Amino acid sequence: MSNAIVQQRGIGAMIWDYITTVDHKKIAHLYLVAGGLFFLIGGLEALIIRIQLMQPDSNFISAGLYNEMITMHGTTMIFLAAMPLIFALMNAVVPLQIGARDVAFPFLNSLGFWLFLFGGLLLNVSWFTGGAPDAGWTNYAPLSSTSPGHGVDYYVMGLQIAGAGTLIGGINFLVTIINMRAPGMTYMRMPLFTWTTFITSVLILFAFPALTVGLFLMMFDRMFGSAFFDVTAGGNAIIWEHLFWIFGHPEVYILILPVFGAFSDIFSTFSKKRLFGYSAMVFATVLIGFLGFMVWAHHMFTVGLGPIANSIFAVSTMAIAVPTGIKIFNWLFTMWGGSIKLSVAMLWALGFIPTFTIGGMTGVMLGSAAADYQYHDTYFVVAHFHYVIVGGTVFGLFAAMHYWWPKMFGKVLNEKLGHLGFWPFFIGFHLTFFIQHFLGLMGMPRRYWTYFEGQGLATGNLISTIGAFLMAIGTLIFLYNVIYTAIKEPKASADPWDGRTLEWSLPSAPPFYNFKQTPLVRGLDPLWIEKMEGRKGITPAEPLGDIHMPNGSILPFLMSMGLFIAGFGFIYQVDNKLWFIAVAVGMGLFFASMFTRSFKDDLGYHIHKEDLIEKGDGKE
């Protein structure tokens, strides 16, 4: 009996530990679990969409519910699954790759996570309170500004809160990479994943405020009677489209660049070669990031901006193919002549190259403004962006998770199950989306609830649905692998892949202070250099000394909960002014927590040198 009590206390203490943690490695776990759950929810929504479209004249779900499904599928996958999973990797890996003990702002790191989670929860509560958002993930006005019910209100408040978390996370990684690199870790020695995280953070910083403003305007129109998108009062609905895509286009590079970095590390590790064209890869990343802000209006070719604007945006769009092509060729040349090991991570990376190239090619097709009038709003577009986002980001997330799993959880994911999961997902993916190019060219518009018989769309849609189920099977095998690995697999060594970068010099999983002594970086691929010179570990840059650590805090959780409560208040004050009490309570909690943070000094604590010597670091 006493044992059970200890067990219970253990769980309670663990939950408390995770709610208050400021350790980047634990925050990575939180992002991974929360993002994974939302990924499953978004996947379930995708399956429902595919079942509805499996056959003509289908009545599996109603048209209204279908609109909610497509909206929530897109919104969930982009904001609540892909981005948090990317943040999980950044948190788990970047501080280790640059030789830092934590991120620059551990408190803000935690705040960023909890804002994302509460924003995501708020968005999904809408399912149970009379209807989810139903104006598409792009939420175009005036459809969104006049959509009845509270669905779109949840979209506005949920994304506002989650977006604030993302912005905070982006600033945090920028400062971490600028200020916290170990001695010798110059910019041009940073691993590519760190570089792409850096550029991604720049994109987050400059793209998200545009969404913030767009959401505020939508909130004011829907909840406080302003006239931004109300054409009858002089408003202009196109403003939403501009603001949304000024954010939205950089957003797709926010989703793809980090996995480009992960692929670069993976190709290099499993080819046993340094990355081909390192500086060209860095330059291409920067260029993609820069051009990513110049192309937003290619989403709006059919709006009527005129031939000059369309031409400019068409040219800039096609220009992005150049740095992307540089990357593809550099990956191929990295493998050329290398000693290739076909691990699961490498398999996903290999699957990514042809898949993403197809997506890039259709991207150039769509970038041609004249031709886009034909493709616009058809399944061709749906096929294109799933080729880049699933074929790029999701493949990349699978690859990166297999690669860094030992560093995150101390165990190598079972390779056999990994191979077994890859094939149904890969084949299922192409089955689902390749045919959609042709459905689109045949004239099937996106977002339609159903289609008639005899239009030649039935077979293609059936194939697409079968593919979706294969992808689901692949995902389930991955989940099984996670559980299997946790129970059956032995503890991983520090360096299971014969790695090249700093994170592999630490035990799997690393101690909470990461580096007992800050490492000295002597070149690109620092661990590889040490290995080639016959050393076991990294040369330290400092003598053993006390380590300064930040304190945990419950305040980020409370602040986010405050905004969550206030979100409900804002949504429902339209119906009953008493809901302003919820606004007051929520904002009160938010500002009181913020005030507490400001007034109470948080100096952190030290781990003493003597304790470090006793514990050892597992490197010897």
Partner 1 sequence: MSHDDVLNPKHMPHDPEKATLEGKNKFVGFWMFLGGETVLFASLFGTYLALSGSTSGDNTPENLFGLELVFIMTMLLLTSSLTSVYAMYHMKNHNFKKMQLWLGVTVLLGLGFLGCEIYEFYHYIHEYGFTFRSSAFGSGFYTLVGFHGGHVLFGLFWITSLMIRNQKRGLNLYNAPKFYISSLYWHFIDVVWVFIFTVVYLLGKVG
User: Which residue ranges make up the site for partner 1 (CB under 8 A)?
Assistant: 104-105, 167, 171-172, 174-175, 178-180, 205-210, 212-214, 216-217, 220-221, 224-228, 230, 233-236, 239, 242-243, 246, 595, 598-599, 601, 603
User: What type of residue is 399?
Assistant: A
Least distance between partner 1 and beta carbon 105 (Å): 6
Specify the residue, 466 or 587, whose C-beta has the smaller distance to partner 1: 587
Q: How far apart are the first and last CA of the chain?
A: 40
Specify the residue, 15 or 178, whose C-beta has the smaller distance to partner 1: 178
Specify the residue, 246 or 470, whose C-beta has the smaller distance to partner 1: 246
Least distance between partner 1 and beta carbon 573 (Å): 15
Specify the residue, 252 or 388, whose C-beta has the smaller distance to partner 1: 252
How far apart (Å, rounded) are the C-alpha atoms in residues 241 and 239? Answer: 5
Least distance between partner 1 and beta carbon 604 (Å): 8
Specify the residue, 217 or 538, whose C-beta has the smaller distance to partner 1: 217
In order of 439, 451, 466, the CA distances from 443 in angstroms are: 7, 11, 21
Least distance between partner 1 and beta carbon 587 (Å): 13
How many other C-beta atoms are found inside a 10 Å radius of the C-beta of residue 61?
16
Specify the residue, 224 or 373, whose C-beta has the smaller distance to partner 1: 224
How far apart (Å, rounded) are the C-alpha atoms in residues 346 and 361? Answer: 23
User: What type of residue is 400?
Assistant: A
Least distance between partner 1 and beta carbon 226 (Å): 4
Query: Concatenated DSSP letters for 190-230?
Result: S-HHHHHHHHHHHHHHHHHHHHHHHHHHHHHHHHH---SS-
Least distance between partner 1 and beta carbon 164 (Å): 11
Least distance between partner 1 and beta carbon 543 (Å): 15
Least distance between partner 1 and beta carbon 227 (Å): 4
Rg over alpha carbons for the chain, rounded to the nearest Å, is 25
Specify the residue, 244 or 564, whose C-beta has the smaller distance to partner 1: 244
Specify the residue, 148 or 234, whose C-beta has the smaller distance to partner 1: 234
- Comparing CA positions, the residue from 381, 355, 222, 212 lying closest to residue 298 is 381
In order of 86, 271, 336, 354, the CA distances from 357 in angstroms are: 21, 21, 18, 5
Token pair recorded at residue 36:
């994974």
Least distance between partner 1 and beta carbon 583 (Å): 15
Contact 409, 492 (CB under 8 A): no
Token pair recorded at residue 161:
């809160």
Specify the residue, 246 or 401, whose C-beta has the smaller distance to partner 1: 246
Least distance between partner 1 and beta carbon 205 (Å): 5
Specify the residue, 167 or 252, whose C-beta has the smaller distance to partner 1: 167
Contact 19, 550 (CB under 8 A): no
Write the burial class of residue 475 (CB in 10 Å: 0-12 exposed, 13-18 middle, 19+ buried). buried
Token pair recorded at residue 357:
């190239």
Q: What are the backbone angles phi and psi of residue 608, rounded to the nearest 5°?
A: -85, 150
